[in-house]
Structure 1
Amino acid sequence: MRGDEQAAEQGAGEVGVGGGAAGGPDRSTLRLALVVGGLVLAVLLGFGLGRINSGGAMAAGGSLDSALNGHTHAPGTGAHSHGAGQAEAAEAGGLAVSRAGYTLTPRSAEFAAGQTGELRFQIQDGQRRTVTRFAVVHDKPMHLIVVRRDLTGYQHLHPSMAADGTWSVPLTLPQPGVWRAYADFTALADDGRQTATTLGVDLVAPGEYAPRDLPVPAASTTVDGLTVGYQGNPEPGLTVPVSFRVTAADGSSPKLEHYLGAYGHLVALREGDLGYLHVHPEPELVDGAIQFWLTTPGPGRYRLFLDFATGGAVRTAEFTVLVR
């Protein structure tokens, strides 16, 4: 074998230096083969790095939109479609207690109206094991949204988890009726896979229930003396910019503060089935406004809940939006 290796080395040296052994390829042919091989290798490496970078964007907290579509939205971008991947991402969540291999199991579901109780629940996987590993998304491993089925009484809470995987949070349902609780989380599997999903369950506060009609659509609302203006035209299946501008009574712009790692958080709930959308904003203000990219899965009336912070306090502005 050593003689064969020496012969091969000598043959290679002769091709590289002497211009080709008898019957072997000439120098120009070798150059062409090397160029073609290099191009193929570059393409393969680029494809592999692209997949790594795409996964890294999600692991590092990049937006779902940028990870699926390989870009972020520049200011001034108009309504557009991202194809099948974005359509799947825009499906309303929170419609069931089980989804994507995970199940929400509440330990209590009835509360006395107007009295503070404790909501306790677990997240279980497909083998009925209690999940105890969750990714921290926007500063918290679990976001809990509670609202009455007539879309009043909105609350954005952050439960704490015990060692056995039981989540708990003080909860007051101020009025009788049927309420919806949404557990918004990203579970970590044993193999490191991350699954972001939202599960929903009904809670009950017994008593006489008088549902309220949704307020009519309006371009502005007032919260604690601050005016919040809304601008946007959501369309079914399209990703469109919607923005919110906060102004004080004297017309000045109060300093917006980060809340949960961002200038604002937007929850959209669809009237009827209470389909849930949780949208995060651009990392920086756009012309002084909080801008989101919203993809509504279908027509209907939606109630938008914007959480934002000023002066060390978190406030919620609410809007009714008609999507045609």
Structure 2
Amino acid sequence: MSFSSRLSPRRRSLAASGTAVVLAVTLAACGSSKDSGSMPGMDHGSKPSASASSAGMDHDHGSMPGMDHGDMGDGLADAKDGYKLTSTAAELPAGKEAAYTFRIAGPDGKPVTGFAEEQTKRMHFYAIRSDLTGFQHLHPAMAADGTWTADLAALEPGTWRTYASFTPDSGPGKGKDFVLSRTVTVPGDAQQTPLPKATDTVEADGYTVTLKGMAMVGMAHPMTVSISKEGKPVTDLQPYLGTYAHLTAFHEGDQTFAHLHPETEAKGDNGGPDLAFRAMLPKAGNWRLFLQFRTGGKLHTAALTLSVG
């Protein structure tokens, strides 16, 4: 499989600087509220919940190959360079769907309403519990006053972190990528799930996903994801987000966010079995990776733990 980069000069400069997460990847991270690759109620087992690939939650939206978000930071702050993620929601109910509303305030204190499309969406929203379970990845809708509404699937009790990933299309932050986050509490008896041990193979919906290669802090290394089913290579991967796979990573302990972007566009329903990428993660430790891919019109999600030294 060959790859072609579409990095702009500005993004090439950011990638070269090595700030935060520098990624040149065949994989991406995006979903949508009604057409998402979310994983409602996902635990740390090797198999995702059935709802992860339910109908109505896996529509395409194209990608922007070669994107690099090297200067977006670690995603753990609610404000950066004058932009701030605000929400009145400090608590959400347990065990049922909930609407999370928020705004992005600009340096002038006013709600931002102009956003550039990143992978055809103006806002990418994520939610994950402190033990890295329950991963959801949505594309919320924005009202005219700049209020975004993310329709979350049922949440388990505990502390959750919500992330907003966006790029202003005007003002001092025009063209700059941001990932801001806040925490929200879901009341109840929170049962923490230990993070599974690092592994290079995981099962999801009858598919075997194998990760080959080594990741090291501060160094870009080639890696390959191979997908098979019943011992046979999968060659019918369908385009998803403009590529053949989708990857989001969160760091154990502090929930540092890594948004991995594709280098190439997918063309035709004949992707796979091998998806090559290069990744450089900003810190050592365990990372929980959420890989999504589509076959037969169905979205599949596999989660595995990657140890980075």
Q: Tell me the TM-score normalised to structure 1 length.
A: 0.72
**Equivalent residue number for residue 18 of structure 2:** 86
Which secondary structure does the structure 2 equivalent of 1:261 belong to? coil
Correspondence for 1:318 among 282, 300, 303: 303
Distance in 1 (alpha carbons) for counterparts of 2:287 and 2:180: 19
Equivalent residue number for residue 305 of structure 1: 290
Query: 2:250 touches 2:257 (CA, 8 Å); kept in 1?
Result: yes
Structure 1 counterpart of 2:300, which letter?
R
The aligned residue for residue 101 of structure 2 is 120
Aligned to 1:68: 12
1:254 and 1:310 in contact (8 A); partners too: no
Q: Displacement of 1:191 after TM fit?
A: 6.9
- 1:1-324 aligned at under 5 Å gives the runs 62-63=6-7, 67-68=11-12, 85-90=17-22, 92-190=73-171, 193-283=174-264, 288-324=273-309
1:178-210 CA distance string (max 9 Å, x none): 011111111122478311010011121100112
**Residue pair 1:147, 1:181 contacting (<8 A) in 2 also:** yes
For 2:296 and 2:110, the matched residues in 1 are separated by 43
Provide the rounded CA distance (Å) in 2 between the counterparts of 1:109 and 1:245.
Answer: 41
Whichever of the two has the greater Rg, that structure is 1
> Residue type matched to 2:303 in 1?
E
Q: In 2, distance between residues paired with 1:193 and 1:157?
A: 23
Judge conservation of contact 1:220–1:228 (CA < 8 Å) in 2.
yes
SS of the aligned residue for 1:87 comes to coil
Tell me if structure 2 keeps the 8 A contact 1:173–1:205.
no
**Which 5+ residue runs of structure 2 have no aligned equivalent?**
23-69
Count of equivalent residues: 252
Superposed displacement of residue 174, structure 1: 3.0
Q: Is the 8 A contact 1:113 1:172 kept in 2?
A: no
Query: Which has the larger displacement, 277-286 or 177-186?
Result: 277-286
Distance (Å, rounded) in 2 between the aligned partners of 1:293 and 1:278: 13
TM, length-normalised to structure 2: 0.75
- Deviations along 1:261-283, one digit per CA (max 9) or x if unpaired, are 22222111111111101011331
Higher RCO, 1 vs 2 (CA within 8 Å, ≥6 residues apart): 2
Query: Which letter does structure 2 place at the counterpart of 1:193?
Result: K
Asked if the contact 2:226–2:272 (Cα under 8 Å) also holds between the matched residues in 1, the reply is no
Query: In structure 2, the residue corresponding to 1:214 is in which secondary structure?
Result: coil
> How far is 1:173 from its partner?
3.7
- 2 CA distance for matches of 1:293 and 1:228? 17
Residue identity opposite 1:154 in structure 2: F
Farther off after superposition, 290-299 or 211-220: 290-299
Deviation digits for residues 9-43 of structure 1, max 9, x if unmatched? xxxxxxxxxxxxxxxxxxxxxxxxxxxxxxxxxxx
8 Å CA contact retained: 1:111, 1:173 = no
Tell me which protein shows more helix as a share of its residues.
1
- My pick for the range that moved more, 305-314 or 281-290, is 281-290
Percent identity for Structure 1 against Structure 2: 36
Offset of 1:254 from its aligned partner?
4.3
